[in-house]
């Protein structure tokens, strides 16, 4: 198969490109406009792999997108503005890339003879949940502009399945961590701050709960859904490993042998969702389960950032 991976120079996308090159014989086209969050360094030796091609381009660029989509069998759309804090400061780039960009890809896709269009979405589209977990049938209730733009894209993707018969599948994953993430996000930021002896600014009282999935477990799940998922279906992807932000922060400090008094509590993010949790039984029924233990994967992640 020849697969177009949009946003493949970013955190999860680049890990996915490496995963495909290492575990399949597919040809990969990475399509990315290299925003602050994307980097050719993330692609590393993939750039020299004859099975890999890199196109620098914007998913809102109709002509370039049509050309790229017309050469592939499948599209996996990771490209997005992905940082909630930035979406609170200004949501325009989020609507542009996450909604208009997805629409541009979908329009190109219905003109091409695609086997699959996989939309990479997020648990944030469901909003927060005090107890229990969200299943794929739960209503969308996004509560920040980033999540709202992703929810809009999910609805568009489904509409192209219903209206145009496009063979779409959607994955909604919980928070990822691992190598190649931009240091503006919690785990890499706190690793680098701690290593430098700087303070670790935790939002609010640090009790917000996230379900942490190691990025390679998510990549395996996305690959499985791409090949074996039922067309028109949504698949939640989550490890089930819930932790408060404060617990994650303490774990990072413990790995680095740094004191907990580096933690400072700062004014909470407006509209900060208290807890996300996913019921991932549907993707598990395809044969997926997380393979990475949280503490081991966090140690690997810490080593990765220290090496840099
Ligand atoms: P990221 O910000 O690290 O990477 C996004 C990539 O998209 C970057 O390489 C960037 O250059 C590229 N990009 C942005 N705008 C573009 C445009 N207009 N045209 C082409 N490329 C563009 O994001 P990530 O954390 O790797 O997330 C990837 C996807 O997974 C996103 O769709 C996000 O919503 C979703 N997701 C992320 C998480 C997480 O914990 N990181 C969890 C669930 C879902």
- pLDDT tens-place string over residues 101-126: 999 999 999 999 899 999 999 999 99
300: three-class secondary structure by DSSP: helix
Neighbour-count burial of 291, counting CB atoms closer than 10 A to its CB (0-12 exposed, 13-18 middle, 19+ buried): exposed
Segment 168-189 mean pLDDT: 97
CATH superfamily of this structure's domain 2-177+212-241+274-292: NAD(P)-binding Rossmann-like Domain (3.40.50.720)
Q: What is the pLDDT of residues 218-232, one digit of tens each?
A: 999 999 999 999 999
Q: Is the CB of residue 120 less than 8 Å from the CB of residue 78?
A: yes
Cα-to-centroid distance, 7 and ligand 1 (Å)? 6
Q: Is the CB of 175 under 6 A from ligand 1?
A: yes
Ligand 1 in reach of 11 Cβ (< 6 A) = yes
What is the pLDDT averaged over residues 147-170?
98
Model pLDDT for residues 228-249, shown as the tens digit of each residue: 999 999 999 999 999 999 999 9
Q: To the nearest 10°, report the CA torsion of 238, 241, 247, 253.
A: -90
Query: Does the pLDDT at position 308 exceed 90?
Result: no
The residues carrying an active-site annotation are: 123-124, 146
C-alpha dist (Å) from residue 277 to 122, 210, 238, 253, 298: 11, 7, 8, 25, 20
Q: How confident is the model at residue 276 (pLDDT cuts 50, 70, 90)?
A: very high
97 close to ligand 1 (CB < 6 Angstrom): yes
The whole-angstrom separation of Cα 94 and Cα 87 is: 7
Q: Is the CB of 120 under 6 A from ligand 1?
A: yes
Ligand 1 atom 25: residue of nearest CA? 11
Task: Give the number of the atom of ligand 1 that is nearest the alpha carbon of residue 7.
Answer: 7
> How high is the mean pLDDT of the chain?
97
Q: How confident is the model at residue 266 (pLDDT cuts 50, 70, 90)?
A: very high
H or E segment at 77? strand 74-77
């Amino acid at each position: 198969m020849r697969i177009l991976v949009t946003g493949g120079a970013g955190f999860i996308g680049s890990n996915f490109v490496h995963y495909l090159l290492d575990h399949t014989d597919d040809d990969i086209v990475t399509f990315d406009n290299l925003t602050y969050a994307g980097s050719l360094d993330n692609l590393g030796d993939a750039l020299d792999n004859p099975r890999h091609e890199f196109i620098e381009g914007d998913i809102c660029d109709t002509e370039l997108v049509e050309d790229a989509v017309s050469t592939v069998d499948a599209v996996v759309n990771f490209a997005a503005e992905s940082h909630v804090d930035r979406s609170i400061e200004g949501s325009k780039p989020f609507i542009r890339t996450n909604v208009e960009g997805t629409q541009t890809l979908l329009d190109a896709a219905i003109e091409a003879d695609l086997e699959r269009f996989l939309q990479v979405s997020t648990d944030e589209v469901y909003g927060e949940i005090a107890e229990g977990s969200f299943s794929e049938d739960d209503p969308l209730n996004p509560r920040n502009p980033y999540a709202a733009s992703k929810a809009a894209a999910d609805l568009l993707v489904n509409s192209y399945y219903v209206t145009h018969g496009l063979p779409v599948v959607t994955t909604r994953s919980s928070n990822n961590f691992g190598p190649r993430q931009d240091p503006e996000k919690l785990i890499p930021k706190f690793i680098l701050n701690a290593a430098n002896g700087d303070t670790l600014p935790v939002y609010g009282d640090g009790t917000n709960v996230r379900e942490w999935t190691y990025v390679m477990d998510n990549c395996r799940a996305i690959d499985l859904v791409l090949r074996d998922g039922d067309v028109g279906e949504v698949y939640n992807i989550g490890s089930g490993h819930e932790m408060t932000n404060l617990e994650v922060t303490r774990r990072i400090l413990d790995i680095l042998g740094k004191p907990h008094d580096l933690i400072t509590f700062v004014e909470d993010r407006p509209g900060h969702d208290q807890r996300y949790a996913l019921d991932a039984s549907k993707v598990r029924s395809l044969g997926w389960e997380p393979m990475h233990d949280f503490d081991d994967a966090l140690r690997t992640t810490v080593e990765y950032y220290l090496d840099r």
